[in-house]
Amino acid sequence: MDGSVLFLAMAKVSEALSPTADQALWILDVYGFAVGSLLIAFGNIGDRYGRLRLLTAGAAVFGAASAGAAFASGPELLIACRALMGVAGATLLPSALAVLSELFTDPRRRARAIGIFAATFAAGFAIGPVVGGRLLDSFWWGSVFLINLPVVALFLVLAPVLLREVRTTRAGRVDVPSVLFSAVGILSAVHAVKHAATEGPDVTALTTGAVGVAVLTGFVRRQLRLEQPLIDFRLFRDRVFTIAAVTGLLPLAAWSATAYLGGIYLQSVLGLSVLDAALVALPGAAVLTATCVVTPAAVARTGTRAALVTCHFLVAAGMLLLLATTVSGGIGWYVASTVVAGLGYGISFSVVADTAVAAVPAERVGAAAAIAETSNEIGNALGIALLGSLAALVFRLQGPDVAGTLNETLRVPGLTAATVGEARSAFVTGLHTAAAVAAALHAALGAFSLRHLPKPRTGTR
């Protein structure tokens, strides 16, 4: 709910806080990078020191950070609160999946449970914009963050009653340098990409990018030497697991980028209200939710290979449908795109998590679940950072050169109709470019999966 609301609320956030183009992207994706940087660490911490304890602490911090974001007085404070929400979110996701694996030990029941668990994410995507649209029509932009508070309060009351503490007996400690390497490397590399898109490939972008690559290289080498690494790269020797992990990343990248860019397209190009834009997104979200629920039963008949291959071609087809949208219209094409791509997203959300937790022994479930969720969260953030930056670069090159983003341009007083039309046309071109790149990547991975994944003899992988 929180993430999908923010996509639609960004127009009002930009109007109220006047963030720069770079700050607007950080508001959206700093959460994903904070989560992605720390998921592995918190997955290991939950395994060793107790998953319920970590869930409870994380939920409390998430609620407090949400309240801070709601009343942020400037873009810097909002970015800081979003980052703290990401730290808290990193405690929730791997522990939640680990608890599910404890509750449902039978593989088929566990697959159904994880499918329903994934469906709640999709339902949140659908419910969030509608609830947020109603709030934004009546209240200030910060009200969208307050929807987290009743959910957090309900969890804090019920979790100690309904869930028992789960921990493993595996000894060892979390490797702090590995946590720092992963966080610094990811943030540096992505900051370089974002800076290059908004300011050009200057010394700052090149230096930051080089630091990010060097630190991430050191992180990988350290994991290969550690007896108990944060990421067990031995899991990636299995081709199914590896492609499943990439499948966790790529569809989320496409989803987050098109949801962000699509929200701006519907509101700032076609002129829809926040609530109307949310209603346009409902059919795709409904398909995504239903697909998450039915996928485990389908995979039991067809196997993981068919699911992994199919999801990529569906997402590619959905992205290509976005190319039919124009400055003057395209709502029908947008809905068709979200419905077709939603089928692929739903398959990927269900298959990736179950593949991860089924591949490891019980004492490593939290860490494996964290790998699956890390691929999701990094994909979520990379979609906005990379594909969003690509769209921003196209806008900067083809736009009227009045401001760095479409929303900033439209706020400049005294614009002529020709300038407004040029800005909107440049934005749509950027949207098409990002969608085409996402389609090409998914089609390539689908073809690779079709060629290299082994055909199952019976049942699921």
Q: How far apart are the first and last CA of the chain?
A: 32
The Cα–Cα gap between 16 and 118 comes to 34
Q: Is 161 exposed, middle or buried (0-12, 13-18, 19+ CB in 10 A)?
A: exposed
Question: How many CA within 13 A on the CB side of residue 315?
Answer: 37
Q: Give me the pLDDT at residue 189, please.
A: 81
Q: Give me the pLDDT at residue 210, please.
A: 92
Identify the residue whose tokens are 């701006």.
264
pLDDT tens, the chain, 461 aa long:
777 777 777 878 888 888 887 788 788 778 877 876 777 677 667 766 677 788 888 899 999 999 999 999 889 999 999 999 988 888 877 677 777 777 777 877 877 787 788 778 777 777 777 787 788 778 888 888 888 899 899 999 988 888 766 555 454 566 788 878 877 887 788 778 777 766 767 888 889 889 989 998 998 888 888 877 777 777 777 777 778 788 888 888 888 888 888 888 998 899 888 778 878 888 888 888 888 888 877 877 877 788 888 999 999 999 999 999 999 888 999 999 999 999 998 888 777 777 666 666 666 665 666 677 667 767 776 787 788 888 888 998 888 888 777 877 887 888 888 898 899 999 999 999 999 999 999 999 999 888 877 776 554 44
Q: Provide, for the chain, the percentages of residues in helix, strand and coil under a 3-state DSSP scheme, each rounded to the nearest 5.
A: 85, 0, 15
CATH code for the part of the protein at 2-174+230-452: 1.20.1250.20
Taking the domains of the chain in order of start, what are their residue ranges? 2-174+230-452, 175-229
User: Position 266: which residue type?
Assistant: L
The Cα–Cα gap between 40 and 64 comes to 23
* Cα angle value 193/194/198 (rounded, 5°): 120
Q: Where are the alpha helices (DSSP H) in 303-413?
A: 304-321, 331-358, 365-382, 388-398, 406-411
Alpha carbon 5 to its chain's center? 13
Backbone angles phi, psi at 132, to 5 degrees: -65, -40
Identify the residue whose tokens are 């340098």.
177
Q: Give me the pLDDT at residue 460, please.
A: 45
Number of H-type helices and E-type strands within the chain: 16, 0
The Cα–Cα gap between 206 and 235 comes to 33
- CA torsion sign for 222, 43, 208, 394 is positive
Identify the residue whose tokens are 């499948």.
247
The Cα–Cα gap between 343 and 255 comes to 12
The Cα–Cα gap between 93 and 236 comes to 21
* Cα angle value 32/36/42 (rounded, 5°): 125
- Contact predicate 414/446, CB 8 Å: no
The Cα–Cα gap between 383 and 260 comes to 9
Q: Give me the pLDDT at residue 198, please.
A: 65
The Cα–Cα gap between 326 and 305 comes to 36
The Cα–Cα gap between 35 and 88 comes to 8
Q: Give me the pLDDT at residue 370, please.
A: 63
pTM, two decimals, is 0.74
